[in-house]
Amino acid sequence: IPLSTMAAYAFSRFRFFGSRALLVWILPTQFLPAIIVAIPFYTLFQGIKLFGEPLLGSRAGLVIVNMAVVLPYAIWMIKGFIDSLPMEVEEAGYVDGCNDWQVLAYVAFPLIRPGIIVAAVFAFIMSWNEFLFAYILGRDTRTMQVALTTTSGVNGIMWEQMAAAGMVVMLPIILMSLTIRKNFVNGLTMGAVK
């Protein structure tokens, strides 16, 4: 989320060569079916080693894939929140003597914090619920969603284990939603009323 927040701020506030083209190029990455992207990742991760271990089947590989999937979505989402923030608020920070980093830290980010939290929640849910990449790319690193597939086997479906595992899978998202519901509502309605 910090990387997507900084990228979204740059896309929203600064005009540089190719910024519009790059921003438009980011969005179509979300349109591709995941299986089309999984095969090149699989081939790529077979040949790349990180600290002596191949990325295929490692947690680092899953983190890289999840970042590649979630980052464009988070950039577009946070950019929408930053675009709704009036420039005059940041200009007032400059008038008060703030430098660029102080305007970001003390003026812009506190005002778009609900939007950043909403983007973080959506990014977490996208990563947490991800099945395909974890199943194909994660050999020994089994996520909860992949582990749920082991409850059905030759002897049939173990319904009690599947129900218990389903509750365990949903628990972090439920707890997170209850914890940040105020910021979630503020983030979704931010910019709705001027």
Query: CB of 54 within 8 A of CB of 46?
Result: yes
Residues whose CB is less than 8 angstroms from the CB of residue 138 and which lie 6 or more positions away in sequence, other chains included: 57, 58, 59, 61, 62, 146
Q: Is residue 87 part of a domain?
A: yes
What is the tens place of the pLDDT at every residue in 59-85? 888 888 889 889 998 999 999 889 988
Q: Is residue 184 part of a domain?
A: yes
CATH number, domain of 39, equals 1.10.3720.10
Output the DSSP codes for 94-106.
HHTT--HHHIIII
58: left (phi over 0), alpha (psi -120 to 50) or beta: beta
Domain range for 39: 2-189
Q: Is residue 194 part of a domain?
A: no
What is the tens place of the pLDDT at every residue in 80-136? 889 988 889 888 989 989 998 899 889 888 888 888 988 998 898 888 888 888 888
Q: Is the pTM of this model over 0.85?
A: no
Q: Is residue 66 part of a domain?
A: yes
* Domain count across the chain: 1
Helix, strand, coil: what percent of the chain each, to 5?
A: 75, 5, 20
Q: Is residue 125 part of a domain?
A: yes
